[in-house]
């Protein structure tokens, strides 16, 4: 079965001129198809690849986000818990956050963000090969939210799955989506991150209820020969056996009961001081390591787009990096902590506020429950040129693979 699938895949690559007829096909160990810069063909000691095999990258060609209409201000919170607008601003930098309405879910917000990303990319959902959905707050355990989004947008040729690495989820998803493209398995991947964290907040706990909001953001990744998209990445984890950041009940270890619901064990708990120290250390180190893998310095970075946890963490990370304040994009004041959705929402707002030029380097960095952390160095593509080339040559490098038509046999 494996040899049959491999042969089928080789024929597809030859047909699409990704490997020449008669040439030895690239393997999973080919450094050309690895994501991390340490295994990149330009890295020292990397193996050689055939000269006539084009480089293959995964450019961001579309983006979009969605947030609920309902705004919950700090003044509104004063009526719920013992707090004040001044206290919240001083400790978090947050002024307001968006709260999902009764008819809004993680999948509905993610679907809207996905449609806007596809519109931005000038693509149809049927052009996608894969949907990756990052979320900590899925609609259900089954079906997975990624499949719900896939069906609602009409991505009839796409596989779909969820990623749960908490607030790091979008960066993890971006790394995985890039790997699917660079390996030749996919041509276009949608990475969407959505959260409805307000439904897991203890509205009697002033230390956590002030932090979180709801929303979704998405990007389209597309195969290209232009050196763009993910240049390097860092991922890490440390099992949170001490439950610094947790939702204790609702899983198989502690199924829902009347007692767990009454005790509020399905709601977010956090040991703030310890999470703060972990976040600053991990984000600053991950960003530094990712830049090192890409062979870049901070001076080569156009903007750092971090997970929008709270302003104190962002400022401490900026100082730890030695980064000029104007090079870190911050929008936590308007949305609070939207979990996995915070990085793509911030990216969309950055792109709406200023022009990111082809060749500009961005750094995405995040931390989350698990505990997890990740950073990605992304080179911005010439999106207009890629879109124009796609329209002029619809069956070149970016031809949809229609993987759903390959049915495994015994």
**DSSP string spanning 268-330?**
EEE-HHHHHHHHHHHHHHHHHHHHHHHT--GGGEEEEEE--S-HHHHHHHHHHHT--GGGB--
Helix (H, G, I), strand (E, B) or coil at 341: helix
Residues acting as catalytic residues: 167, 307, 337
Residue with tokens 């992304």: 378
CA dihedral 96, 102, 108, 113 (to 10 degrees): -20
What is the 3 state secondary structure string of 103-130?
A: CCCHHHHHHHHHHHHHHHHCCCHHHCCE
All residues at 6 or more sequence positions from 157 whose CB lies less than 8 Å from its CB, including other chains: 126, 127, 128, 129, 400, 401, 402, 403, 404
- Residues 6+ positions from 132 with CB-CB distance below 8 Å: 146, 160, 161, 162, 163, 173, 176, 177, 189, 190, 191, 192
> In Å, how far from its chain's centre is CA 91?
27
What is d(CA 379, CA 357) in angstroms, rounded to the nearest whole number? 10
Residues in the chain: 410
Identify whether the C-beta of residue 181 lies closer than 8 Å to the C-beta of residue 58. yes
Distances (CA, A) of 384 to 257, 301, 391: 54, 22, 11
| Residue (of 40, 373, 387, 89) closest to 230 by Cα position | 40
Taking each helix axis from N to C end, the angle separating 311-321 and 272-294, rounded to the nearest 10 degrees, works out to: 40
Question: Which residues make beta-bridge pairs with 236?
Answer: 373
């Amino acid at each position: 079965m494996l040899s049959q699938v491999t042969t089928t895949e080789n024929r597809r690559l030859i047909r699409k001129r990704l490997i020449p007829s008669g040439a030895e096909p690239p393997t999973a160990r080919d450094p050309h198809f690895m994501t991390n810069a340490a295994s990149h063909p330009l890295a020292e000691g990397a193996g050689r690849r055939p000269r006539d095999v084009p480089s293959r990258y995964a450019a961001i060609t579309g983006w979009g986000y969605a947030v609920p209409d309902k705004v919950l201000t700090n003044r509104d919170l004063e009526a719920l818990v013992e707090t004040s607008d001044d206290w919240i601003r001083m400790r978090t930098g947050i002024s307001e956050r968006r709260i999902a309405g009764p008819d809004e879910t993680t999948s509905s917000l993610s679907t809207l963000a996905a449609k806007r990303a596809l519109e931005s990319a000038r693509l149809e959902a049927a052009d996608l090969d894969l949907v990756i959905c990052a979320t900590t707050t899925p609609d259900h355990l089954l079906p997975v939210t990624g499949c719900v989004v896939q069906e609602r947008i009409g991505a009839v040729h796409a596989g779909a799955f969820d990623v749960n690495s908490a607030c790091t989820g979008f960066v993890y998803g971006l790394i995985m989506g890039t790997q699917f493209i660079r390996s030749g398995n996919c041509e276009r991947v949608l990475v969407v991150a959505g959260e409805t964290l307000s439904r897991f907040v203890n509205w009697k706990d002033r230390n956590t209820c002030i932090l979180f909001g709801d929303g979704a953001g998405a990007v389209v990744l597309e195969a290209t020969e232009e050196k763009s998209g993910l240049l390097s990445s860092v991922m890490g984890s440390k099992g949170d056996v001490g439950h610094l950041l947790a939702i204790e009940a609702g899983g198989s270890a502690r199924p829902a009961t009347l007692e767990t619901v009454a005790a509020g064990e399905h709601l977010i708990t956090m040991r703030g001081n310890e999470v703060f120290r972990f976040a600053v250390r991990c984000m600053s180190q991950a960003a530094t390591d990712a830049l090192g893998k890409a062979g870049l310095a901070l001076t080569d970075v156009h903007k750092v787009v971090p997970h929008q946890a709270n302003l104190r963490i962002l400022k401490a990370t900026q100082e730890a990096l030695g980064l000029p304040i104007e090079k870190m994009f911050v929008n936590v004041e308007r949305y609070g902590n939207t979990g996995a959705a915070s990085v793509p929402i911030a990216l969309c707002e950055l792109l709406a506020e200023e022009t990111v030029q082809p060749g500009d380097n961005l750094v995405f960095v995040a931390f989350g429950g698990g505990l997890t952390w990740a950073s990605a160095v992304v080179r911005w593509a010439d999106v207009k040129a890629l879109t124009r080339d796609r329209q002029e040559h619809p069956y070149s490098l970016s031809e949809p693979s229609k993987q759903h038509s390959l049915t495994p046999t015994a």
